[in-house]
C-alpha cells in the first residue's frame, strides 16, 4: 500500500512528461511515427511554393493534395503576413525613389484578388486550393462582397496616394461584377482610385496576361507612366507594357495564366 | 528510507522529461529566453529570401547580417537541396514536352556559378554573403578550380543531353578564366557542351543582363532555338532574346544585375 502510494507522483509526472513533450513536438509535427513523412511533405511543399512564386513551375491547376495543411498553415500563420509586409515594404522603398511629375500621370497598378482583397475566407471552405475551380461558388463569394483587405496592401495603397501616385485597378473580374467589387473595395477601406478596369465582354476568352498587357498599353498610350505594378499572379506582371518595377505578391492558392 | 527510495524513479523521470523536452525544443530553436528574436529573425529572413528569389527586392549588395545563420542553415541543410531538386524536376518536365528538330539547333542555356557549379565552399569562408564582394579572394577561388557540381543540375544536364538538347554555357566569368573553368567543369562531371561563352574584353563593364541578352541574340541569329534557360540570377534570365521557359535556381548568397 505504501509502495502503491509512492507511485502516484511518478505516474502523474510521467503523464505530465508525455503531455509536455507532445505539445512541444506538435509545433514541428513530429509527434507521431510518421515524422519522416511530415518533414518530407514540408520540404516538398516549401520547394513547391518557391517554384510557383518564382514562376518556375509554369501552369498549374490545383494545390497538391499533400500540401493542403502546408498551405493552410502558411496562409493562416505568420509567414504569409510577414511575406505580405515585406513586399509592401520593398514596394514603398522603390516608390519613394520615383520622381513624380505632379501631372497625375504617375501610376501604380494594382490587381485586386489576393493583392488588395483576400479571398482566404472562401478558399478555407474549398480545401485551400486543393479543389478544382468552381465558378458558381466563386461567383457567389464575389457577390457577397465580404472579402477583407490585405492589411499591408491597404497601408501601401494609402502611402502611395500620399506620395502622389495615381492608382489604377486592373482585375480579371467581369464588368457585371463592377458594383459589388466597388462596394467591397470601399468597405475594405480602398478609396479614390483613378480607374477600375474589369473584363468587358470583348475581353472574354483572352488570357489574363494579354488582357492586362492591353490595358497597361492603353494607359501608356494615354500618357500615363506606369512606375509600379503589384499582383499575385505572374500574368498580372509579365507580357508587354510592363511597369518599371513589378512586385509579386505571394499566392499559393491558385494560378491564372 | 522506503520513502526516499521511491523518489529515485520520480527524479530520474523528471530528468528524462526535462532532457526530452529540451531536445524537442532545440529543433525549433526556442529553448532559450530569446525565442521571439529567433522566430522574428527566421520570419524576416524567410521573407527576405522569398523577396530576392521573386526579384521583388531589386538590387542588393550583401546578405543582411541578421540573416547569416539563416542563409547558412538554408544552404547547408535540406531546404537548398530540395529546392534545387524541385527546379531540376520542373525543368526536365518542360524539356520532355519540347519537340526537337534533330538538327542540333535546339538549345538549353546554362549559367555556371550557383547553377552548374557550387561556390558554397568559398562563401562559407566569407560569412555566407554577409561580407562585401572581394575580387581578389573570389578570383583565387575560381583559379583553384575546386567548385563542386550542384548534383541536381548535373543530373538535369545529362538528362537534357540524352533528350537531344544542345548545351550552351553562358557565364559572367572572364575569358582569361576559360582554362580553369573548363578544367573545373570537366572535373565536376560536365562534358560535351556546344559553346562556352565567357566575357571578352569587349564585354567589360556591360551589365550581366545586357551581355547575356546579346549572347542569346547571337545564338538566335545563328539559327539556334533557345527552349530553356537555367540561372541563379534574374540577369541570367531576363532582358531580351529570352528562352521559351526560364528557370530560376535559388541563390541567397549574392546578386548580379
DSSP result, B73-107: HHHHSHHHHHHHHHHHHHHHHHHTT----SSS-EE
How many angstroms separate the CA of residue A221 from the nearest CA in chain B?
23
Q: Which residues of B touch A55 (CB under 8 A)?
A: 248
- Average pLDDT of B197-206? 97
Which of A13, A21, A250 comes nearest B20 by C-beta?
A21
Residues A212 and A239: beta-carbon distance below 8 Å: yes
- Which of the four pLDDT bands, split at 50, 70 and 90, describes residue B38? low
- According to the per-residue pLDDT averaged within each range, which of B4-8, B13-17, B141-145 is highest? B141-145
- The CATH H-level (homologous superfamily) assignment of domain B73-248 is HAD superfamily/HAD-like (3.40.50.1000)
- Cα of B243 vs its chain's centroid, Å: 20
Chain A contact for B50 (CB, 8 A cutoff): yes
Q: Which residue has the cell 520532355?
A: B96
Is the pLDDT higher at A203 or at B33? A203
- Position B82 pLDDT exceeds 80: yes
- Average pLDDT of B243-250? 98
- Which of the four pLDDT bands, split at 50, 70 and 90, describes residue B37? low
- Average pLDDT of A153-161? 98
Chain A contact for B40 (CB, 8 A cutoff): no
Listed in sequence order, the residues at least 6 apart from B188 whose beta carbon sits closer than 8 Å to its beta carbon are B116, B117, B147, B148, B149, B154
- Position B27 pLDDT exceeds 50: no
- Position A75 pLDDT exceeds 70: yes
| Chain-chain contact of B50 with A55 (C-beta, under 8 angstroms) | no
Q: Which residues of B touch A85 (CB under 8 A)?
A: 47
Looking at domain A36-53+61-248, its CATH class is: alpha beta
Question: Any bridge partners for residue B169, and if so which?
Answer: B110, B196
Which of B9, B17, B54 comes nearest A54 by C-beta?
B54
**Mean pLDDT in chain B?**
90
C-beta atoms surrounding A214 within 10 Å: 15
- Which of the four pLDDT bands, split at 50, 70 and 90, describes residue B31? very low
Which of B6, B25, B56 comes nearest A248 by C-beta?
B56
How many angstroms separate the CA of residue A24 from the nearest CA in chain B?
6
Chain B contact for A86 (CB, 8 A cutoff): yes
Residues B209 and B257: beta-carbon distance below 8 Å: yes
Q: What is the 3-state secondary structure (H, E, C) of chain A?
A: CHHHHHHHHHHHHHHHHHHHHHHHHHHHCCCCCCHHHHHHHHHHHHHHHHHHHCCCCCCCCCCCHHHHHHHHHHHHCHHHHHHHHHHHHHHHHHHCCCCCCCCCCEEEEECCECCCECCHHHHHHHHHHCCCCCHHHHHHHHHHCCCCECHHHHHHHHHHHHHCCEEEEEEEEEHHHHHHHHHHHHHHCCCCCCEEEEECHHHCCCCHHHHHHHHHHHHHHCCCEEEEEEECCHHHHCCCCCCCEEEECCCCCCCCC
| Chain-chain contact of A20 with B16 (C-beta, under 8 angstroms) | no
Q: Give the tens place of pLDDT for each residue, B164-174.
A: 999 999 999 99
- Position B236 pLDDT exceeds 60: yes
- Average pLDDT of B112-122? 98
**What local confidence, expressed as pLDDT, does residue B25 receive?**
33
- Cα of A80 vs its chain's centroid, Å: 8
- Average pLDDT of A7-33? 41
Which of A2, A21, A24 comes nearest B2 by C-beta?
A2
| Chain-chain contact of B47 with A86 (C-beta, under 8 angstroms) | yes
Domain ranges of chain B: 73-248
Q: Which residues of A touch B2 (CB under 8 A)?
A: 2-3, 6
- Which of the four pLDDT bands, split at 50, 70 and 90, describes residue B6? low
Chain B contact for A244 (CB, 8 A cutoff): no
- Position A134 pLDDT exceeds 50: yes
Q: Give the tens place of pLDDT for each residue, A212-255.
A: 999 999 999 999 999 999 999 999 999 999 999 999 999 999 99
Chain B contact for A220 (CB, 8 A cutoff): no
Would residue A46 be called left, alpha or beta, if left means φ above 0 and alpha means ψ between -120 and 50 degrees?
alpha
- Average pLDDT of B171-199? 98
Q: Which residue has the cell 532574346?
A: B241
Amino acid at each position: 500500500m505504501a509502495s502503491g502510494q509512492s507511485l502516484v507522483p511518478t505516474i502523474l509526472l510521467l503523464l505530465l512528461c508525455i503531455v509536455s513533450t507532445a505539445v512541444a513536438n506538435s509545433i514541428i509535427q513530429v509527434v507521431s511515427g510518421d515524422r519522416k513523412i511530415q518533414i518530407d511533405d514540408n520540404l516538398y511543399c516549401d520547394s513547391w511554393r518557391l517554384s510557383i512564386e518564382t514562376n518556375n513551375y509554369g501552369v498549374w491547376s490545383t494545390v497538391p493534395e499533400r500540401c493542403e495543411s502546408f498551405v493552410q498553415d502558411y496562409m493562416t500563420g505568420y509567414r504569409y503576413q510577414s511575406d505580405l509586409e515585406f513586399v509592401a515594404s520593398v514596394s514603398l522603398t522603390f516608390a519613394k525613389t520615383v520622381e513624380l511629375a505632379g501631372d497625375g500621370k504617375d501610376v501604380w497598378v494594382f490587381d485586386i484578388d489576393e493583392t488588395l482583397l483576400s479571398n482566404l475566407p472562401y478558399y478555407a471552405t474549398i480545401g485551400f486550393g486543393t479543389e478544382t475551380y468552381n465558378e458558381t461558388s466563386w461567383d457567389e463569394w464575389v457577390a457577397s462582397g465580404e472579402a477583407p483587405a490585405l492589411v499591408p496592401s491597404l497601408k501601401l495603397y494609402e502611402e502611395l496616394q500620399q506620395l502622389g501616385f495615381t492608382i489604377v485597378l486592373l482585375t480579371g473580374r467581369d464588368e457585371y461584377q463592377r458594383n459589388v467589387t466597388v462596394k467591397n473595395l470601399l468597405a475594405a477601406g480602398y478609396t479614390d482610385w483613378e480607374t477600375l478596369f474589369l473584363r468587358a465582354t470583348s475581353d472574354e476568352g483572352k488570357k489574363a496576361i494579354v488582357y492586362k498587357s492591353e490595358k497597361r498599353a492603353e494607359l501608356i498610350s494615354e500618357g500615363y507612366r506606369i512606375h509600379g505594378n503589384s499582383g499575385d499572379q505572374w500574368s498580372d506582371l509579365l507580357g508587354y507594357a510592363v511597369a518599371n518595377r513589378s512586385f509579386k505578391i505571394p499566392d499559393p492558392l491558385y494560378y491564372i495564366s
